[in-house]
Structure 1
Amino acid sequence: MKKLVFLAIWLWTINAFAQTEQDSLKIQRQQLDSLFLEEIENPGPFRKPKLLHAEPLYIDLIRDLGARKGEKEWNVGMGMQDKRKYDEFHTLIEYEWAPIDRLGLEIELPFSTYSFRNGQREGKTPANRLESLKLASQYTFLVSEKRNVSMALGYIHEFEIQDFNRLGKEKAWKGNVFNPFLVAAKRWGTNYHTLIYTGPKVIKEFNYNTEVNLGINLNFHYMVTGTRNFIGLEVNQEIQRGTLSTTLRPQMRLGLAENLMIGIVSAIPIGQTDAGLGSFMRIIYEPGFRAFH
């Protein structure tokens, strides 16, 4: 009987100790998150409020929501998409900065190159090209600290560039793309993030009819406590000529240093007969960014 009593006391002690340790770790995580958020969002008494939101990796924002004057960032992206008869490779170089509080500007050069199966072209296929010179702006008009909500309006203008094999034979500039958009983001607690990015894309190439598409991009992310690392899902949808196409993009972002991160994305097309799996990687460098914790 004494042995049973001793065993019961021993098990209760172990359980109580484990529970105490778990509660202690939970409190430490909460404190770490609070310190990190305070660091990012309230660096001084003379700065405008800013909320930390997870930024999607494939269709990214022009600048952080609530951007502060002086923030800047370089991005280099590389990706591949299976197009059944050929492989499409994407490369981009972009620079974004905030000249004043809450206004972000961006310059981007996106390239596309193609690798054809069996070394031969089949039917009408794209040519290698610099897609466009892309200029963009984004202004955060709402930062609600009470609700952890930020909203922004933006505009992207693309000067479409002719295929490499036609440069010198035809005009280098072949049309325009007009793309106003709206962004709305909410953080739920300290770790869970949702964001919607939507807007029409008006494509006007010279000597061709105007085409209007609608993009609807939904994002769900979990950010790891006390860091900017996250895992999540980006859902890219486009309505083109009355047809809806959807691509799921599971993704993760990992900090390599205080001012250097890498993002890894997979592409899973839904119901698209002309597209298979794809991948994308983004290297993010923020000159001057420093965490203090």
Structure 2
Amino acid sequence: MNILNKWVPMLLLASTASAWAQVSEAEQDSLFIQEVEEQRAPAKVLHAEPLYIDLIRDLGARKGEREWNLGLGLTDNLSYDSYEALIEYEWAPADRLGLEVELPFTFYTASSERELGEVPSNRLNSVKVAAQWSFFVNEKMATSMALGYINEFELSDFGSFGNPLITGNVYNPFLVVAKRWGRNYHSLVYTGPVIGQDFNSKDWHYSFDVNTSFHYMIPGTRNFIGMEVNKTFEESDFNMTLRPQMRVGIADHLMVGIVGGIPVSREGERLSSFIRLIWEPPH
């Protein structure tokens, strides 16, 4: 009896502590989701956003939200290396409407002196403007959908910059469907045609992108780990790249995203890496 009197209270205490820890984590997670979704109207569902092909603005964006992004990347293209840099600003002028302006740069270096002639010229690739409208947001289903459009004014490289200034245009309407499974698992599909127009040759180029992603968000935070899969269909060609990734908060309103690139069926490209610095000013 003395042994029972000693160990039963201890077992009950341990069991209670374990249950309380589980409840605390669940409550912490629920409070975080509640902070995002129920702080004010209109309805909004917390989703994990892919880091390489990112969204124009959060699904279900609320008026006043804004975000600055700075991205840096490196890709091994067999005969040369390409360095990617971008700066973008996105904001929500009205509920559920997101707008974005992006300036993407690419710089090239040869892998060896013998291949200097194969290196493209450095360039400001384009001026990209985009809009995204979340037409469906359902908190009970934890599902959001959006339609969007990206218009990309392609520019000449630095060697012939301004002669002409705009060399082509890219038209890219897209659809986004996102679903949160429980509290922590997130899936998203981003898809649409990409239509390119070359002003000099009068040629048109057509492709179709299907980008899928799956993430696990760390309980009670906005940090996540996951996989983004970028797929492009172009006539008889097919390209696919796996992009394992993680996002970590490093300060209030400041996060960093780290992305790897593993080509599965992409000719002329090897491994790549990409880092995105994300700053969301308070609103």
TM-score (norm 1): 0.91
Secondary structure in structure 2 of the residue aligned to 1:221: strand
Q: Kindly state the Cα deviation for residue 16 of structure 1 after the two structures are TM-superposed.
A: 5.2
Separation in 1 of the partners of 2:202 and 2:118?
18
| Off by >6 Å, runs of 4+ in structure 1 | 8-14
The AA in structure 2 aligned to 1:30 is: A
The AA in structure 1 aligned to 2:52 is: Y
> What is aligned with 1:63?
57
Separation in 1 of the partners of 2:168 and 2:127?
11
> What is aligned with 2:180?
187
Q: Kindly state the Cα deviation for residue 121 of structure 1 after the two structures are TM-superposed.
A: 3.2
Q: Kindly state the Cα deviation for residue 10 of structure 1 after the two structures are TM-superposed.
A: 7.5
Separation in 2 of the partners of 1:20 and 1:219?
38
The AA in structure 2 aligned to 1:55 is: E
Number of residue equivalences: 282
Separation in 2 of the partners of 1:102 and 1:271?
36
> What is aligned with 1:218?
212
> What is aligned with 1:173?
166
Gaps of 5+ in 1: none
> What is aligned with 1:28?
24
> What is aligned with 2:47?
53
The AA in structure 1 aligned to 2:109 is: S
Separation in 2 of the partners of 1:120 and 1:135?
39
Are 2:252 and 1:258 aligned? yes
Encode CA deviations 1:160-216: one digit per residue, 9 max, x unaligned: 000111124x20100000000000000011100000000000010112420101000
Are 2:268 and 1:274 aligned? yes
What is the identity percentage for the equivalent residue pairs of Structure 1 and Structure 2? Answer: 50
Q: Kindly state the Cα deviation for residue 37 of structure 1 after the two structures are TM-superposed.
A: 1.0
Partners of 2:228 and 2:243 within 8 A in 1: yes
Over 3 Å counting, the alpha-carbon distance change for 1:96 and 1:120 in structure 2 is: farther
Choose the corresponding residue for 1:43, options 36, 39, 42.
39
> What is aligned with 2:77?
83
Separation in 1 of the partners of 2:280 and 2:105?
22
Choose the corresponding residue for 1:241, options 235, 238, 242.
235
Separation in 2 of the partners of 1:119 and 1:38?
57
Choose the corresponding residue for 2:194, options 180, 190, 201.
201
Q: Kindly state the Cα deviation for residue 241 of structure 1 after the two structures are TM-superposed.
A: 2.5
Over 3 Å counting, the alpha-carbon distance change for 1:11 and 1:246 in structure 2 is: farther
Which residues in structure 2 correspond to 1:59-138 (within 5 Å)?
A: 59-122=53-116, 124-138=118-132
Separation in 2 of the partners of 1:154 and 1:29?
36
Root-mean-square deviation over aligned CA pairs: 1.9
Are 2:263 and 1:286 aligned? no
